[in-house]
Structure 1
Amino acid sequence: MRITGLETFPVPPRWLFLKVSTDEGIAGWGEPVVEGRAHTVAAAVEELSELLVGRDPLAIEDHWQVMTKGGFYRGGPVLSSAVAGIDQALWDIAGKTRGVPVHRLLGGPVRERVRVYQWIGGDEPSAVAEAAAEQVEAGFTAVKMNGSGRMRHIDTPAELDAVVDRVAAVREVLGDERDVAVDFHGRCSTAMSRRVLPRLEPFSPMFVEEPVLPENTAKVRDVVTSTSVPIALGERLFSRWDFRDVLRSGIAVAQPDLSHAGGISEVRRIAAMAEAHDVTLAPHCPLGPLALAASLQVAFATPNFLIQEQSRGIHYNVGSDLLDYLVDPSPFRFDGGEVAAPPGPGLGVEIDEAKVREAAERGHRWRSPVWRHPDGAFAEW
């Protein structure tokens, strides 16, 4: 079997799908994308295709090594995301070739069901208590919310109180049998993190995510030691080398993204490194069905897995949602806030290629919002 071509599809709301074709008619699908830079990643996939066409798709590890190390300049979100989507597609081909789900090629399942959480509140959280109540009614046992909107380097007591009040309101709705995770999106400085996090301890968040920017990971230990709240981060780290020092800092949860951090192959290695540091895995995934399918395959084969993010109904999914490009949405049936292992081969989902091609004709130009403080200065989104 030989690879005959790689084709990318920018589909709404903000995703990029990839089809890898072979001369035996078996095709693999992946999701290589940087949110807001889909066309840039598509160009990187096209460049990497020169290394793949005519080669055996089942030589996954060799392809990963060559794609990531075969150029003098390495790493970064664009290249790592291009590699990630290709890697997903190659694993999809491997599973389809052997007639088994990918997780069986990774050593087999270590659990029967995977817990997932639901996003609430949007980028600038509002009406979070009502949104949490809706998700409890829908059967979810965990939700995640943004802790704040714009946050100044050292903000006011009023803004601090607003963060605490929102988390308190959600905890009251959830009770003690369900979980809330709080995402700060890197909007806090180290100083504000150390001020905010102790105030959240009475509400026992499952974790607080990315309280500081990835550029400030040298400060993560200062944040960790300031609170008993479990700290999670990793959506903007792209390799095991990026995670190396962070895992030593005392974080509780590693959050690599299967569409950014080198795909299934690399996230499996990151998970193993995390286990050696008593850190659990909660893959980042506010993306499409292929990214989620790849994440679930890793989740079912990873002993130190915690919980899975998924994007159904997320505020980014305007016009298209998680299930819209699937022939059969049943692999993503969330019962009681959990999902069973997809039984199908490869990634376990079947893409509606005709619908993907039609959507790609429309495409998208999604961009990250640019926020500013009241004085006009740039603000972290």
Structure 2
Amino acid sequence: MRDPSQDPCRSWMAAGPPGDVRGGRAAAGSCRGLIRIAVPSGTRHRSVPTVPKIRPHPLAHDVHAGTFHMNQSRIASVETHLLWVPTRQAIRREMERALIHAWSEVEVTIVELESGVIGTGETIQNYTWGRSVDHQAVVGGNPFELMWQDRLGAGLQMALLDAAGKEAGVPVSRLLGEPCRTHCPVSHWGHDMPPELYRQEALWAIEHGYTSMKIKTRPWFDVVETLDLISDATPDTFEIDTDWNDFLLSAPRAIPVLRHLEDRFSKMALVEGPIPAADSSGNKAIRCAIACPVAHHYSDELALRIDHGGCDGYVMAGGVSAVMRGGHAAAAYGQPFFLQMVGTGLTAALAAHIGSVLSHAQWPAITCTGIYEHDLLTDSLEVRHGLVTVPDGPGLGVDLDREALSRFKARGDEIDLPPRIVTYRQPDGLTVHFANNSHNSSAVWAFFRRGTLPVLMPGVTTTMVDVGDDPELVELHRRVSAAGYLIESG
């Protein structure tokens, strides 16, 4: 197999140590981005603190003295609590428009071992790589034997890792491997929303210690105005990662858009999913045309096609075993990635432990913790200078706020929303109405996937109104629901 470092579109990897590369500006030449170089500190570059050598953890038990026997550890009981943890009030209506409010349904899993040790985990029920189905099946089992099984689902696996770490007296990171960093980069996240609200979210991010944020760049909002407002509101060192979810559709459409944006906005630091990952030639053309690194969701198939030059790095998500395998595979090819593990403070803690042992988890992790009203922890994980300190206590190293279990107990009807109309408008008066929401299963996504309208248009807006008892809105909602969408000329 050809050495991936010899790919001319990836030669930037040889310019500096793996921990110091996030992707840089393109060198001059007829093919922009053909040669990539590491850039000086402070210029679209994030250095991650590393630890050259890790001593045995001071809390570790003396196994040889017989104080801890891994093979004797057993699970005594498992209990679950279904919560509804609201998104922050400032963004709640926009989260409802995209059905992200459904991420508020959180199942907390609590595992107790026969030793009395308690482990805690969580599953974001409507955005997870795997729900936990049969919790009681693990009772009587050994947490050290079960904790690597992704099939158990997110919350149960997390609780087993937490319990196993506490039983052994070591942080979860020491169960996963040898840490290479004590602090992990992390980014704020916001789903698609109007430009002004994105500006406010950027200010919130800065106030809470973040130095970057990932935004959803959608054809139904004004991306140029969004980047303008965020750029004007943030320090020069702030970075903006753009997630297109394939809405640029093809390389011929994507390249002029991305060139224009990166030339205008120096804070645009990463391009995720500009077009479908399966379009190898299109993605390679994009990489050679722009300076920003291009990322796609990791898959074994994509990694095997690395010589096609389709991306600079990955989005790493899934169960702990899958993420660890993917992280080691990315390291073997010298490609950075960011962890995408969505949840409250419990998930954020697990992401920090995983990020601390995977050498190429160099891009800021996405945990989405900042969208929630509460992180379910007694003491929140503090973000400073865009970094979160990896907890060094046993297990996850964080404590569940038990009061939150009753405070946020789910009623069962919170996910329901009233009938609504989502309306897209262009400056020239063209209007498109959709029913209810702009979730990825909605008519909004299907309509814009067809490429009928431009992938980028300054001045476009998208609004949402409640139908209520207004006869005209009731009739419009009926027509739009039946047709999927309704186009009106201005």
User: Do both share a fold (TM > 0.5)?
Assistant: yes
2:421, 2:279 → 1: CA distance? 25
Distance 1:312 1:56, change over 3 A: closer
Distance 1:349 1:224, change over 3 A: farther
For 2:82, the equivalent position in structure 1 comes to 10
How many residues of Structure 1 are paired with residues of Structure 2 in the alignment? 330
Q: Could you tell me how far 1:95 is from its partner in structure 2?
A: 0.8
The C-alpha deviation readout for 1:69-91, integer Å capped at 9, x for no partner, is: xxxxxxxxxxxxx5233222221
The C-alpha deviation readout for 1:193-230, integer Å capped at 9, x for no partner, is: 34422222223422122334xxx431255134223321
The C-alpha deviation readout for 1:140-191, integer Å capped at 9, x for no partner, is: 32122222253xxxxxxxx7xx323422443344454221111224444235
Retained in 1: the 8 A contact 2:348–2:369? Answer: no
Q: TM-score, normalised by structure 2?
A: 0.59
Matches within 5 A, 1:279-358: 279-306=335-362, 307-314=364-371, 317=372, 320-322=373-375, 325-329=376-380, 332-358=381-407
> 3-state SS of the aligned residue for 1:59?
helix
Retained in 2: the 8 A contact 1:117–1:143? Answer: yes
Q: Given the alignment of the two structures, is residue 46 of structure 1 paired with residue 107 of structure 2, yes or no?
A: no
Distance 1:139 1:54, change over 3 A: closer
Matching residue within 270, 291, 316 for 1:228 = 291
For 1:125, the equivalent position in structure 2 comes to 194
> 3-state SS of the aligned residue for 1:218?
coil
1:224, 1:175 → 2: CA distance? 32
> 3-state SS of the aligned residue for 2:339?
coil
Retained in 1: the 8 A contact 2:195–2:229? Answer: no
The C-alpha deviation readout for 1:81-118, integer Å capped at 9, x for no partner, is: x5233222221112101111111222332123222222
2:238, 2:271 → 1: CA distance? 15
Aligned residue type for 2:121:
G
> 3-state SS of the aligned residue for 2:120?
strand
2:77, 2:163 → 1: CA distance? 13
Retained in 2: the 8 A contact 1:35–1:367? Answer: no
Q: Could you tell me how far 1:49 is from its partner in structure 2?
A: 4.1
Aligned residue type for 2:153:
V
Retained in 2: the 8 A contact 1:115–1:337? Answer: yes
2:280, 2:223 → 1: CA distance? 20
Matches within 5 A, 1:57-76: 57-60=143-146, 64=149, 68=151
Distance 1:94 1:173, change over 3 A: same
The C-alpha deviation readout for 1:298-321, integer Å capped at 9, x for no partner, is: 11112112212243442xx3xx32
2:369, 2:242 → 1: CA distance? 18
The C-alpha deviation readout for 1:210-261, integer Å capped at 9, x for no partner, is: 334xxx4312551342233212232xx6xx546545756532232223xxx1
Matches within 5 A, 1:100-249: 100-120=170-190, 122-127=191-196, 128-148=198-218, 150=220, 162-174=222-234, 176-190=236-250, 192-202=253-263, 203-204=265-266, 205-212=268-275, 216-219=276-279, 221-226=281-286, 227-234=290-297, 241=300, 244-245=303-304, 249=309
Matching residue within 111, 119, 122 for 1:28 = 119
Q: Could you tell me how far 1:270 is from its partner in structure 2?
A: 0.9
Select the structure of larger CA radius of gyration: 2
Aligned residue type for 2:310:
G
1:371, 1:178 → 2: CA distance? 32
Distance 1:88 1:37, change over 3 A: closer
Retained in 1: the 8 A contact 2:195–2:223? Answer: no
Distance 1:179 1:27, change over 3 A: same
Identity %: 25
> 3-state SS of the aligned residue for 1:11?
strand
Matching residue within 309, 314, 318 for 1:254 = 314
Distance 1:115 1:48, change over 3 A: same
1:126, 1:311 → 2: CA distance? 19
Q: Could you tell me how far 1:22 is from its partner in structure 2?
A: 2.2
Distance 1:97 1:334, change over 3 A: same
If asked which structure has higher relative contact order (CA below 8 Å, sep 6+), I would say 1
1:363, 1:289 → 2: CA distance? 23
> 3-state SS of the aligned residue for 1:272?
helix
Distance 1:223 1:94, change over 3 A: same
Q: Given the alignment of the two structures, is residue 268 of structure 1 paired with residue 324 of structure 2, yes or no?
A: yes
1:186, 1:23 → 2: CA distance? 49
Q: Given the alignment of the two structures, is residue 88 of structure 1 paired with residue 88 of structure 2, yes or no?
A: no
Retained in 1: the 8 A contact 2:346–2:377? Answer: no
Aligned residue type for 1:125:
P
Aligned residue type for 1:293:
A
Aligned residue type for 1:285:
M
Q: Could you tell me how far 1:271 is from its partner in structure 2?
A: 0.7
> 3-state SS of the aligned residue for 1:251?
coil
Distance 1:326 1:370, change over 3 A: farther
2:223, 2:306 → 1: CA distance? 27
> 3-state SS of the aligned residue for 1:228?
coil
Retained in 1: the 8 A contact 2:107–2:155? Answer: no
What value does the CA root-mean-square deviation take over the aligned residues? 3.3
Q: Could you tell me how far 1:360 is from its partner in structure 2?
A: 2.9
